[in-house]
Structure 1
Amino acid sequence: MKILKKYYLILLSVISAACDPFSTKIGSEVALYQSAEIKECSFPDTLKVMTWNIKFGGGRIDFFFDCHGDRVIMEKSEVMDHMSSLVEKIREVNPDILLIQEADVNAKRSAFVDQVQYLLDNTDLNYAAYASQWKASTVPSDGIGKMDSGNAILSKWNFTDAKRIALPLIQSQNFIVRYFYLKRNILDVQLEHEGKKLHVLNTHASAYAKDDTKKKQLDIIKAYADAISLKGDKVILGGDFNSLPPYTQQTSSFDDSVCTDEEFEADNYSAETQWMMPFYENYQAAIPLDEYQNNNKDHFTHTTDKSGFWNRKLDYLFTNGKFIHGSGKTLQQWMQISDHAPIMVNYEL
C-alpha cells in the first residue's frame, strides 16, 4: 500500500509540474479520412443508417474492465480477425452512413491498427470523420500504454463540415483518474443533398459516472440536436447512450455487476430509466418505444456475459426527419463480434 501511495504521489507531482505531460488533452479537432479507392455512388431516395459500438476490434475477449478476465493487449492477428468479421457484417448490411463508437486508430491495445481506415478500405464507404475520446501518449496503468480511441462517422459521400463538441467530465473521479480518463464528445458531420443540410451526430455517453455527469451529458446532447432542429436542418442522432429506455422492464441483471473494482462498477440503471424520455418525445426513434416495450428482449443491444444473451438496450438512433416505418432492426445475431449489437434503419431523404 505504501508503494502504491508513493507511485500515486510521484504521478501527481509529474502531472502538476507540466501542462500536459501525457498529451491527454483533446480540443475540437476532427480527423478526416477517405478510402484508398473511392467508390462512385449517387444519392438514393432513402439512406441506410447503422450504429455500432465495435469494442475496438476486441470481439468477445475477456478484458480486465469487463471483470471477466485480465487481458489488456491484443495480438495483431486477433485484431485483424475481429476487424475482418466486422467488415463481413458491415458489407452484408451495406449502410450508406455508419456511426461507430470505441474505434481505435493508434492504440497499443489494438496493435496500432487504424480501424477507421481499415473499415473504409474494406467496405463500400468512402469518407470518415473521427473524434478522439480517449487519448494519451501512454496510460501508465494496467499495461494500457499509448491510446487513441473515439467515435467515427463513415459515409459514402463526403462531408461539408465536421466538428467535435466536448461533453462534461466525471467530476467525482480523483484528479489523476480524470486526467487519464475518457473525454466524451458529440461528433457532428454535415452532408448536403439538393441544397438541404443533414447533420449526423454520433455520441458515446459515460458508463461509470457516480454523480450526475451522465445526466448532464444527455441534456447537452439533446440541446445540441434541438438547436439544429430549430434552424430548420435535419438531424440523425445515434450512438451508445449508456442509458436504458423509459419504462424498462426491470430485472436484477440491469444493476448487478461482476466488477468489484469501484472504477468499473455498473451504473444504477434503474434510477435512470426516464433520462431518455425527452429523446423519444421530440424525435422519431429507429426502434419506437411501443415496439421496444412489446418485444424488449428483441431490442437489447448490450451484454456483459458472452455466454448468455443481450440483457439491456443502450444504443439508439433518432431523427427529426423520417425513418421508414418498420425498417428499424436490432441485429442481435452477431454477439461474438462485439459486446454491442448494431442498429440499422432506413431514412427518407
Structure 2
Amino acid sequence: MSDKKTKKSSQNSSGKTSGKKSDERNLKKKEKRELKVWQKILKVVLCILAIPVLVVVGFFVWATVNEYRPAPVEKVEIDTTEGTGKKLSKGDSLTVVTWNMGYGALGDNADFFMDGGTSVMTAVPERVDVNIAGFMGFLAGMNPDITFIQEIDRNSKRSYNQDEATKIQGDIPILLKSVNEEDPDYNGYVMTFAYNFNAKFVPYPVGDPIGKVESGLAIYSKYEVEDSERISLPCPYSWPVKTCNLKRCLLVNRTPVYDSEGNDTGKELVSVNLHLEAYDNGEGKIAQTKQLREFLQEEYNKGNYVIAGGDFNQTFSNVDLSPYPVHEEIQDVWKPGTIDVSEIGDDFECLMDNSVPTCRSLDKAYNSAPDKSDFQFYMLDGFIVSKNIKVDDIHTQNTFFAPSDHNPVLINITLE
C-alpha cells in the first residue's frame, strides 16, 4: 500500500514538474516572439529616422560634388553680339550707372523672408516682365555709356528661368536707337557677365526652398573692352553652407584710352562692378573691402583710370545718414556696416548721393504701405573713383522702388 502511494505521489510530482517546464518553455517562446516583434518595430523606427538623415547627408554630398568653385582669376567672355564699342579718349566725358536690379522680382510689391518678410517667390511671371520692362525704361532715360548691374539672373527658379542678361543686351540698343544714331562713333554695346551665385539647388528655407539660382554681375558698355576678368573675393562661409551660397567677385573690364590723335596712351579705364557680402557677421565684408582697396590702388599706381561701382552692402563713412534713421521697431531689421573712406586712400573719392535712399527694407510691400516712413532706408550703392577722373555730378535716381528694391545711382565723369 505504501509503495503504491509513493509511486502515485511520484507520478503526480513528475507531472507537475513536466507541466511547469512546459509552461516555462511556452513563456520563453512567447517572450522570444515578442522580442522579435519589438526588434522588427525598432528596425522600422530606425529606418524611418534614418531616411531624413540619409537624405540630408546625400544632399550635401551631391551639393559638394556640384559646388561652383571658380578660380581666383578667370577670363570673362566679351560678348560683342550687339557691337564692338567705340574708342575712349582722354578728355572724354561719360555717364556711368550702377543698379542692383533685384533679379527682376523685388519690385514695389515684394517682401522677402530674409529681410523680415514672408515671401520666397516674390513675384509672379507677369510681374517679373513688368519689373524688367520698367528697369529698362528707366535705364533708357538715363542713357548711360557704361552700366553696372547686380543681381541679374540667367536661369533661376526665382525669376522663372529668364535670361535677363541677354534680354537686356538685346533690348537696350532698340530702346536707345534714336539717341545712339546721333552719335557718329556709336558702335553698339559690349556685354560682360560673371557669376557670383551659381547653385543647382538652394535648400533654404526648408519647406519652400529657393531652388536653382544662376545669377551674377553684368557690365554693358558703349566703349570697346579689350579684356575682362572675374576676380574671386573671400568667402566667409564654411562647409556645408558655402556649397549653396554666393561666391562674391569683382567683374573687371579694361578699356584702352587713346589721345586726341587716336594713339593708344598705354593707359586703361578699369571698370569694376561689385556686390559685396550682405548677411555675414561682418568679417566677409571687411575682407572683401580690403581686397577691393588693394586692387584699386594697384591699378591706379599703374597710371590707369579706375572706377568701381555697385552694391557695397555698406555705407561710406562720409555719407550723412540722418535722413534715414534706424527703425529698431522693425523685427530683425538689417543693419549695414560702414566703410571708413580714409582707409580707401587719398588717391580715391568715395561717392554716394543721399538725396533719396538707394535701397529699402523688404519686410513688407512698398506699393501698398500707407506710410512710407515705416520702411528702413539705406545708402548702399555708389562709386569709388580715382583722382585722375573728374567727377562732374552724381545723383540717385528716384524710381520709387517700382522695378527693384534699389534705386540706380548715376555719375558723370571726365577722364583728365
**TM-score (normalised: structure 1):** 0.83
Cα deviation, 1:182-213, whole Å, max 9, x if unaligned, reads: 11111111111312311100111111111412
Deviation at 1:281, TM superposition (A): 4.0
Asked if the contact 2:276/2:288 (under 8 Å) is kept, the reply is: yes
Does residue 131 (structure 1) correspond to residue 180 (structure 2)? The answer is no
- Partner Cα distance (2:64, 2:344) in 1: 37
Task: State the identity as a percent.
Answer: 25
Deviation at 1:112, TM superposition (A): 1.3
Deviation at 1:32, TM superposition (A): 3.2
Asked if the contact 1:167/1:220 (under 8 Å) is kept, the reply is: yes
* SS, match of residue 244 in structure 1: strand
Match of 1:197 among 268, 279, 291: 268
How many pairs are equivalent? 330
Does residue 244 (structure 1) correspond to residue 315 (structure 2)? The answer is yes
Q: Which residue of 2 aligns with 1:282?
A: 347
Q: Which residue of 2 aligns with 1:302?
A: 359
How large is the Cα RMSD of the aligned pairs?
A: 3.1
Q: Which residue of 2 aligns with 1:104?
A: 153
Cα deviation, 1:53-99, whole Å, max 9, x if unaligned, reads: 11001123223223223232644322211111011000000000000
Larger Rg: 2
Which amino acid in 1 is paired with 2:250?
A: I
Match of 1:121 among 166, 170, 176: 170
Q: Which residue of 2 aligns with 1:170?
A: 236
Asked if the contact 2:314/2:339 (under 8 Å) is kept, the reply is: no
- Partner Cα distance (1:274, 1:34) in 2: 33
Match of 2:95 among 24, 28, 48: 48
Cα deviation, 1:245-291, whole Å, max 9, x if unaligned, reads: 2154468954748455xxxx624x4xx4353442374312444xxxx
**TM-score (normalised: structure 2):** 0.71
Match of 1:15 among 49, 53, 60: 60
Q: Which residue of 2 aligns with 1:319?
A: 385
Asked if the contact 2:391/2:411 (under 8 Å) is kept, the reply is: no
Range with greater deviation from structure 2 (2-11 or 128-137): 2-11
Which amino acid in 1 is paired with 2:344?
A: F
Distance verdict in 2 for CA 1:5–1:164, change over 3 Å: farther
Range with greater deviation from structure 2 (142-151 or 305-314): 305-314
Query: Which runs of 5 or more residues in structure 2 are unaligned?
Result: 1-45, 174-187, 259-263
- Partner Cα distance (1:255, 1:8) in 2: 41
- Partner Cα distance (2:151, 2:162) in 1: 13
Distance verdict in 2 for CA 1:122–1:19, change over 3 Å: closer
- Partner Cα distance (2:103, 2:95) in 1: 23
* SS, match of residue 399 in structure 2: helix
Asked if the contact 1:203/1:240 (under 8 Å) is kept, the reply is: yes
Asked if the contact 1:255/1:266 (under 8 Å) is kept, the reply is: no
- Partner Cα distance (1:143, 1:21) in 2: 20
- Partner Cα distance (2:410, 2:253) in 1: 19
Distance verdict in 2 for CA 1:36–1:20, change over 3 Å: same
Which amino acid in 2 is paired with 1:135?
A: N
Asked if the contact 2:358/2:381 (under 8 Å) is kept, the reply is: yes
Q: Which residue of 1 aligns with 2:41?
A: none
Distance verdict in 2 for CA 1:29–1:75, change over 3 Å: farther
